[in-house]
């Protein structure tokens, strides 16, 4: 028996949920297939969303019309804006979420989308015909056909868990692995490999001495993830807690290294460089006498805590012995130990920028199947795969974000151009246009793009228009209104910045890094009245104007550079060369250009190993 859909999404993790929601909200009859409907959007590792650069991705997902930001705001039990000591280009929102509420809110969201249907089953194989995907076959013996298929299998493809010498087949603890798809795709010509990730122990809060830990409270200002107008964080807000390892902890861990899967040869695959296990930390940073740990709540009504910074695959007895050497954990009880997991992924250079595979038409990959790590990176890929799977099913121009338009664009371009040799994690340093890709203006960058494809709805666009008008009005006010030295100099003196010698425009004063609207309002009644006249989201509008004024020169300079680079993005080289016949290119260049098949000169220039001389040769051959 067959059932027909426009789009099928395999896997209901963070990539799968965004992909299915996007395709369905754009009008595709969409089927989301998951092993367990009670674990949709399960937060497999830490119960948090956002962070450095990751928070920007979540805001971009929301700006396009995605769901992760909304779900996070409604289920957050702590919110913080990271990197406040640095410039706004580095500010990154992060929230702790209630793990169970997060799942329930995602399920409620998906259930509320008209064109979206859910099926609980395991996909065993793809239906392929003449180099095109036609559907999937499941363990229940059901065949579902579709015009497009999105694979978001996470860590489930041939997943294998490690706790010391104990090995368990699974995609997560107590959840079965998935078999068959990797072998089928490898036989179709896909290059596949293995990666490793891990997760820490889960701790019973009743056994923790919180008096021996440092409390880290959240923030409760106007910031949130979604640009939609609603009151965020309806759940009880909770603290995180900080403690440190010590030499006794490290000694206990070292004594167990001979049973560590990472060091006895049991695990051969590569783990994440930027989120190492605790055993990797004590080996790599052997001179450090302590490492900071964060105890993070899993929910508002549970005693379960996540120990951030203590990821491990060491034996249970070693993990417990080491934890008990930390004063706050001397009477520790745990729900389960940390573990490592190995899983299959596919070389992402086998993908187009739409995340459609180059080898099989209408087949898309998103999430950890592409060698990434993190909910946010998965969600960013998921929404792009969902958008383009809908477009493939119904026709239209492919949807791609460039490096100067979104962190999502940087992420996908890095994957398909450079590939991965370790789990990929987004950082602000990966983006060459950080000042253009701030968290505060993702809606200005992307919402109208979302509207153009039918994903961002009318209410979202109306809110953006209203916001832009308010920003323009307030910016104009600061450029045309003045303040006298005698009114503002007492304030400037307190702030430690130079006094005014003559009347100055508010905009010129606000361009100083030390000064904000909040510093100026009492000295300038007209400014106070203007701020109070902003109809909605006063703090958000004021912050946006401040950033725009303070960074105006930097923003303009970066835009000029981006525009120059974009000219190379417009020089297409797709299918124009037989690289193996161009002997003036280096051998490495011929091999990599043939394998990756870049679509533009700029993309070719970002491939590791392609030199400026190689690019010049291609430009000469094109008559440029």
Burial string for 255-290 (b: 16+ CB within 10 Å, else e) reads: ebeebbbbbeebbebbbbeebbbbbbbbbeeeeeee
Least confident of 133-142, 264-273, 310-319, 358-367: 264-273
DSSP secondary structure of 315-343: -HHHHHHHHTTSGGGTT--EEE--EEEEE
Q: Does 624 have pLDDT greater than 70?
A: no
Chain centroid offset of residue 151 CA: 18
pLDDT digits (tens, 9 = 90+) for 148-190: 999 999 999 999 999 999 999 999 988 999 999 999 999 999 9
More confident residue, 33 or 86: 33
Q: Does 58 have pLDDT greater than 80?
A: yes
Instruction: Please write down the HEC assignment for all residues of 275-299.
Output: CCCHHHHHHHCCCCCCCEEEEEECC
Asked if residues 106 and 15 have their Cβ atoms less than 8 Å apart, the reply is: no
What value does the mean pLDDT take over residues 566-589?
A: 88
Q: pLDDT exceeding 70 applies to what percent of the chain?
A: 100
Asked if residues 338 and 207 have their Cβ atoms less than 8 Å apart, the reply is: no
Asked if residues 279 and 314 have their Cβ atoms less than 8 Å apart, the reply is: yes
Integer Cα distance of 354 and 332 in angstroms:
48
Listed residue (544, 521, 567, 316) closest to 438, CA to CA: 544
Neighbours of 111 (CB within 10 A): 11
Q: Does 344 have pLDDT greater than 70?
A: yes
pLDDT digits (tens, 9 = 90+) for 375-395: 999 999 999 999 999 999 999
User: 411: number of CA atoms within 13 Å, CB side?
Assistant: 36
Listed residue (74, 68, 63) closest to 40, CA to CA: 68
Please report which confidence band the pLDDT of residue 268 belongs to, taking 50, 70 and 90 as the band edges.
confident
Integer Cα distance of 229 and 46 in angstroms:
27
Integer Cα distance of 152 and 235 in angstroms:
30
pLDDT at 75: 98
Rounded to the nearest integer, the mean pLDDT of the chain is: 95
Bridge-based pairing of strands 166-169 and 123-129 is unpaired
pLDDT at 564: 84
Please report which confidence band the pLDDT of residue 566 belongs to, taking 50, 70 and 90 as the band edges.
confident
Bridge-based pairing of strands 339-346 and 123-129 is unpaired
Integer Cα distance of 94 and 78 in angstroms:
8
pLDDT digits (tens, 9 = 90+) for 535-553: 889 999 999 999 999 999 9
Please report which confidence band the pLDDT of residue 575 belongs to, taking 50, 70 and 90 as the band edges.
confident
Least confident of 259-273, 302-316, 498-512: 259-273
pLDDT digits (tens, 9 = 90+) for 180-235: 999 999 999 999 999 999 999 999 999 999 999 999 999 999 999 999 999 999 99
pLDDT at 1: 64
Q: Does 616 have pLDDT greater than 90?
A: no
Please report which confidence band the pLDDT of residue 243 belongs to, taking 50, 70 and 90 as the band edges.
very high
Asked if residues 123 and 147 have their Cβ atoms less than 8 Å apart, the reply is: no
Q: Does 134 have pLDDT greater than 80?
A: yes
- Please tell me the pTM assigned to this model: 0.94
Phi first, then psi, for residue 3 (nearest 5°) are -130, 140
Burial string for 417-434 (b: 16+ CB within 10 Å, else e) reads: bbbbeebbbbebebbebb
Residues listed for the chain:
624
Integer Cα distance of 389 and 363 in angstroms:
8
């Amino acid at each position: 028996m067959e059932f027909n859909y426009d789009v099928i999404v395999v896997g209901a993790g963070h990539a799968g949920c965004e992909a299915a929601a996007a395709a369905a909200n754009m009008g595709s009859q969409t089927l989301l297939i998951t092993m367990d409907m009670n674990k949709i959007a399960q937060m497999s590792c830490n119960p948090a969303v956002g962070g450095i650069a990751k928070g920007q991705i979540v805001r971009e997902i929301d700006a396009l019309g995605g769901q992760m930001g909304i779900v996070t705001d409604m289920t957050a039990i702590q919110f913080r804006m990271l990197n406040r000591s640095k410039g706004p280009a580095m500010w990154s929102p992060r929230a702790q979420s209630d793990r169970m509420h997060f799942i329930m809110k995602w399920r409620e969201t998906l259930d509320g989308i008209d064109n979206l249907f859910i099926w609980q089953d395991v996909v065993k194989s793809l239906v392929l015909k003449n180099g095109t995907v036609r559907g999937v076959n499941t363990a229940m013996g059901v065949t579902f056909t579709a015009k497009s298929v999105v694979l978001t299998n996470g860590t489930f493809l041939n997943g294998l868990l490690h706790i010391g010498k104990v090995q368990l087949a699974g995609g997560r603890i107590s959840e079965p692995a998935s078999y068959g798809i990797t072998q089928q795709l490898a036989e179709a010509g896909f290059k596949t490999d293995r990666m490793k990730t891990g997760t820490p122990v889960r701790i019973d809060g009743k056994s923790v001495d919180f008096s021996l830990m440092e409390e880290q409270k959240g923030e409760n200002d106007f910031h949130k993830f979604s640009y939609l107008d609603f009151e965020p964080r309806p759940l009880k807000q909770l603290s995180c807690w900080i403690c440190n390892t010590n030499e006794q902890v490290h000694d206990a861990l070292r004594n167990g290294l001979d049973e560590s899967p990472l060091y006895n040869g049991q695990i051969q695959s590569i783990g994440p460089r930027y989120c190492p296990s605790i055993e990797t930390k004590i080996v790599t940073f052997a001179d450090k006498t302590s490492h900071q740990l964060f105890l993070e709540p899993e929910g508002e009504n549970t005693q379960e805590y996540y120990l951030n910074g203590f990821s491990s695959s060491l034996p249970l007895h070693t993990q417990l012995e080491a934890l008990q050497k930390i004063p706050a954990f001397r009477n520790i009880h745990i729900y389960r130990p940390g573990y490592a997991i190995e899983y299959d992924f596919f070389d992402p250079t086998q993908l187009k920028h739409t995340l459609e595979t180059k080898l099989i038409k209408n087949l898309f990959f998103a999430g950890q199947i592409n060698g990434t790590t993190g909910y946010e990176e998965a969600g960013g890929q998921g929404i792009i795969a969902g958008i383009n799977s809908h477009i493939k099913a119904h026709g239209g121009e492919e949807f791609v974000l460039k490096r100067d338009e979104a962190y999502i664009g940087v992420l996908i371009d890095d994957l398909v151009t450079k590939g991965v040799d370790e789990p990929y994690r987004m950082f602000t340093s990966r983006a060459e246009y950080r000042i253009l890709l701030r968290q505060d203006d993702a809606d200005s960058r992307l919402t109208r793009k979302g509207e153009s494809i039918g994903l961002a709805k009318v209410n979202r666009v109306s809110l953006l228009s209203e916001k832009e008008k308010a920003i323009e009005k307030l910016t104009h006010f600061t450029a045309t209104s003045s303040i006298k030295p005698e009114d503002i100099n007492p304030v400037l003196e307190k702030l430690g910045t130079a006094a005014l010698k003559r009347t100055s425009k508010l905009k010129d004063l606000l361009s100083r890094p030390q000064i904000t609207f909040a510093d100026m309002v009492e000295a300038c009644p007209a400014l106070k009245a203007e701020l109070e006249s902003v109809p909605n989201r006063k703090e958000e509008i004021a912050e946006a104007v401040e950033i725009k004024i303070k960074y105006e020169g930097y923003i303009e300079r970066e835009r000029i550079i981006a525009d120059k680079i974009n000219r190379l993005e417009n020089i297409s080289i797709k299918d124009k060369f037989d690289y193996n016949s161009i002997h003036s290119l280096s051998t490495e260049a011929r091999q990599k250009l043939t394998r990756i098949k870049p679509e533009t000169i700029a993309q070719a220039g970002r491939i590791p190993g392609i030199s400026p001389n190689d690019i010049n040769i291609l430009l000469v051959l094109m008559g440029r």
